[in-house]
Amino acid sequence: MIRIQRIFFRITLLLAVTAVLSSCGKDFLYPEPTTSLEDQDVFTSLTNARAALVGAYDQLSAYSFDGLYLPIMADLTGEDLMLNSTNNYNWFVPVYQLNVLPDYQYASRPWSAGYKLIYDANKIIAGVPQLPDATQEEKDRLAGEAKVLRAYAMLKMVEVFAPAFSVAPDAPALLLVTSSLSWDAPDIGRSTVQEVYDQIVADLTTGTGVLEETGETGFFGLNAAHALLARAYLDMGEWEQARDHARAAYEGKTLMTIDQMLGGFYSSNSETIFAIAYTPEDNNVYLSIPSFYWPVSGYSSMRADSKFVERFSQNDYRSYFFTLQENIDPDNYLILKFQHNQQVGNAERIAIRAAEMYLIEAEADAELGDYSDARDALYVIQNRSYPGIEKSTATGQELIDEILTERRKELFGEGFRWNDIKRRNLPLVREGDHWVKLDIGPDDPDYYRLTFPIPQREIDANKALEQKDQNKGY
């Protein structure tokens, strides 16, 4: 059994009805009976069911999942950003060292949080059909949104705990759980990378068929479902599908202005497709993205490598995201991309935005040989930050490399570099200011460290798993 948490449904009132899918005890996918409000009470009305979904959304902001751990780890595992060698409070040191072991919290906590989210989504999907006061259209939308939420969690987890699709589609990946399991149900083994991506695509395709674009960036709408499909197909190397869904995802969105960019990524704007809000009331204020990036009022331990900063032209407005300040850190570049909204831990993490979709479109077009379209999409992003820059004339691998470099410059700190290295099977080379230097490629024995281990407590508790089912190298 998954050694995470026993889950029970509970609805509480906070202003309007708010959902709390609470936890108690130890096991997650196989909850024991509790004395809490039963599922049939939750699904007595559309209002209660919608409140339960809101409660599931709130879990995304948890520091152990997409509120902090996953985006921070995705950049610390790369080569552009780094952890301060001193005054890092021991946060994320093994991640930066690429030394996460099966019993470390950086593997176990995202695993637990991800499966808790998947469990809650499964409960909502299973309970929606019995809603007595909802139309079929309302039921379809609610279930579709829950499926997009489930797919979001699965996509995050498969990128962390499994080899890249492009390298090993038949390799073991996640425990593929798409229903609410009873306490005495058989344990589940690992499904393949291909099977997990098939489920992700199926869930997101359902979402695109029933969701609308509402403009509420805190919830998954049609644009967000398309964006997640673009990400999934990019991982899979399905270039035409990735391009088409990326175009659909940025439809109706306007890129933020330079002033908005430099103002700090802490609230939704015209470019935002999906955002995860976290507030001091909901979460540990210091375990938030702004706390680790902003130079004051928090841990402030994230830095930019000098070799990465050198990639930015002085005419590129994004170069203003970096600064050296004698009174804070005279030796390393501070990062000014993320900030607090008036108080520590109060912000929105812009999790999906239009710029990423243009870059997916550019990469997919380049892979398809549509070089003119690829250069056009790339230029949209380059010209926004570097007005007057000449459009690329590159083709083939040179153009693909230029697009991948632009992804690094545009999306740094937003949680993409780790997966970009894995899915493209690229070398990881750290130079410059890094205090943990690396030079490993796909053929090196240490390359396995780019895939995190399955938590040891999962293997110990799950009768369908043995030690041989652990990821390679662990």
Domain stop point among 411, 436, 451: 411
pLDDT score at 345? 77
Contacts of 245 (CB under 8 A, 6+ apart): 226, 227, 229, 230, 233
* Residues 75 and 115 placed together within one structural domain of the fold: yes
* Residues 332 and 435 placed together within one structural domain of the fold: no
* Residues 199 and 92 placed together within one structural domain of the fold: yes
Residue 230 counted as domain residue:
no
Residue 217 counted as domain residue:
no
* Residues 109 and 202 placed together within one structural domain of the fold: yes
Residue 201 counted as domain residue:
yes
Which residue do the tokens 């637990």 mark? 112
* Residues 174 and 275 placed together within one structural domain of the fold: no
Residue 223 counted as domain residue:
no
Distance, in Å, from the CA atom of 464 to the CA atom of 260, rounded to the nearest integer, reads 50
Which residue do the tokens 């697009």 mark? 403
* Residues 464 and 341 placed together within one structural domain of the fold: no
CATH number, position 451: 1.25.40.390
Report the domain count for the chain.
Answer: 2
Q: Which amino acid is at 304?
A: A
* Residues 285 and 317 placed together within one structural domain of the fold: yes
Strands (E), 78-232: 81-83
Domain stop point among 393, 411, 429: 411
| Average pLDDT, rounded, for the chain | 90
pLDDT digits over 327-384, tens only?
999 999 999 999 888 888 788 899 999 999 999 999 999 999 999 999 999 999 999 9
* Residues 314 and 191 placed together within one structural domain of the fold: no
Domain of residue 313, residue span:
239-411
* Residues 431 and 369 placed together within one structural domain of the fold: no
Q: Which amino acid is at 135?
A: T
Residue 116 counted as domain residue:
yes
* Residues 61 and 21 placed together within one structural domain of the fold: yes
Residues of the chain predicted below pLDDT 50: 1-37
Residue 221 counted as domain residue:
no
Distance, in Å, from the CA atom of 42 to the CA atom of 37, rounded to the nearest integer, reads 7
pLDDT score at 283? 61
* Residues 340 and 443 placed together within one structural domain of the fold: no
Domain stop point among 411, 429, 451: 411
Distance, in Å, from the CA atom of 88 to the CA atom of 78, rounded to the nearest integer, reads 18
* Residues 108 and 37 placed together within one structural domain of the fold: yes
Distance, in Å, from the CA atom of 128 to the CA atom of 120, rounded to the nearest integer, reads 12
Residues in the chain: 474
Residue 226 counted as domain residue:
no
pLDDT digits over 197-256, tens only?
999 999 999 999 999 998 899 999 999 999 999 999 999 999 999 999 999 999 999 999
